[in-house]
Amino acid sequence: MTNNNNSPSPFKWMIYGANGYTGELIAREAVKRGLKPILAGRSLDKVQKLAQELGTEAVAFPLDNVADAANNIRGCQLLLNCAGPFSATAEPMMNTCLQAKAHYLDITGEIAVFELAQSLKQQAETAGIVICPGVGFDVIPTDCVAAALKEALPDATHLTLGFDSRSGFSPGTAKTSVEGLAQGGKIRRNGKIVSVPLAYQVRRIDFGDGEKLAMSIPWGDVSTAFHTTGIPNIEVFIPGSPGMIAGAKRANYFRRLLGIRWVQNLVKARIEKSVKGPSESKRAVMPTHVWGEVTNARGERKTARILTANGYSLTITGSLAVVDFLQNNAVKGGAYTPARLVGPQLVSQLPESGAMTIS
């Protein structure tokens, strides 16, 4: 796109869900860097107040009509979706971006959203846009670890990933976690995503801060790491106390109750009133240890570790790094994971990240 004097037009992009906890953090950092994203959401009152403070444009529109939503983002080269839960917003927004021919990014960690993105690969290629969910803590660091381990052991058959993070929850993350509990555990086995009980596997892992008891969780890498590496067997772990693990196992007996819509709505309403994301000072003293391990059929093993910023801080810098990458690089349309789009070096280049070690 060019303007009348034949110089390139400015990169125009939008943050949808800019009034949410993480969306606002990203918007503030973007403006601090001299960027001018359009701030958007469902409610004009909520986004306009922030836009006026930051000196940016504001717009509001619902996602129940793709054609109307596409008219609101037409002219934008990229949309960053920060409006969770993404089980509700990702599909209409991906379809909106396909129609408006704008790159789609989001900060989800939801397996179903990653699988949806891959199902739209051909449509994205035809539209000439990038669809890349998960450009935050979910799943940049673990995806980059997976890609680096694949390079280190190309014939790996099993991949295990994990992280030790002490972050609190934002309202959106807490709501997504409630949905995840209802769906139970997930692993990838022989190339297929399969349902398993919560805390299906329990083992001891040194994430980088000493060996700890850990349990398997249905993290987004069960989807994305497969599309990044092709490794057919994938599990993801976090540390947990014996009590926490026992509680997760007990939850298997009543998680169907959490799947009932009115129960979900009740829990989410309480979250909206009571849950606040961690403060900047709290985020600053909460780094994250990220770990991964691959093995092949001969029993050979490679292990990777990296220390990164707090999950929310990494989501701010990670999402903006991917925005910057797409602003400055021509990329073939399609469905991507962060490491496939930018490369496994992405996480190491982010503020507060150490060097990745592989042994």
> Nearest-5° angle of CA 219, CA 132, CA 281?
60
Asked if 314 and 346 count as a contact pair (C-beta separation under 8 A), the reply is: no
pLDDT, residue 184, reads 75
Residue 209: count other Cβ atoms within 10 Å of its Cβ.
14
Residue 25 reports pLDDT greater than 80 = yes
Asked if 322 and 347 count as a contact pair (C-beta separation under 8 A), the reply is: no
* CA distances, 30 to each of 20, 26, 78, 200, 306 (Å): 15, 6, 14, 40, 26
Q: Which residues contact 305 (CB under 8 A, 6 or more apart)?
A: 207, 208, 289, 290, 291, 292, 356, 357
The string of pLDDT tens digits covering residues 180-209 is 555 678 999 999 999 999 889 999 999 998
pLDDT, residue 246, reads 83
The string of pLDDT tens digits covering residues 312-332 is 899 999 999 999 999 999 999
Domain ranges of the chain: 13-136+313-342, 140-310
The CATH H-level superfamily of 140-310 is Dihydrodipicolinate Reductase; domain 2 (3.30.360.10)
Residue with tokens 């408006």: 100
Rounded CA-CA distance 68/61 in Å is: 8
pLDDT, residue 2, reads 36
Q: Which residues contact 315 (CB under 8 A, 6 or more apart)?
A: 22, 25, 26, 107, 136, 137, 138
Q: Give the pLDDT band (50/70/90) at residue 217.
A: confident
The string of pLDDT tens digits covering residues 64-110 is 999 999 999 999 999 999 998 898 999 999 999 999 999 999 999 99
pLDDT, residue 284, reads 57
What φ, ψ does residue 131 adopt, rounded to 5°?
-115, 115
Average pLDDT for residues 258-287, to the nearest whole number?
57
Query: Amino acid letter at 89?
Result: T
Residue 179 reports pLDDT greater than 90 = no
Cα end-to-end distance, the chain, whole Å = 47
Residue 168 reports pLDDT greater than 80 = no
Secondary structure class of 275 (helix, strand, coil) = coil
Read off the pTM: 0.88
Residue 349 reports pLDDT greater than 90 = yes
Q: Give the pLDDT band (50/70/90) at residue 169.
A: very low
Residue 6 reports pLDDT greater than 60 = no
Specify the CATH architecture of the domain 13-136+313-342: 3-Layer(aba) Sandwich (3.40)
H/E segment holding residue 41: strand 38-41
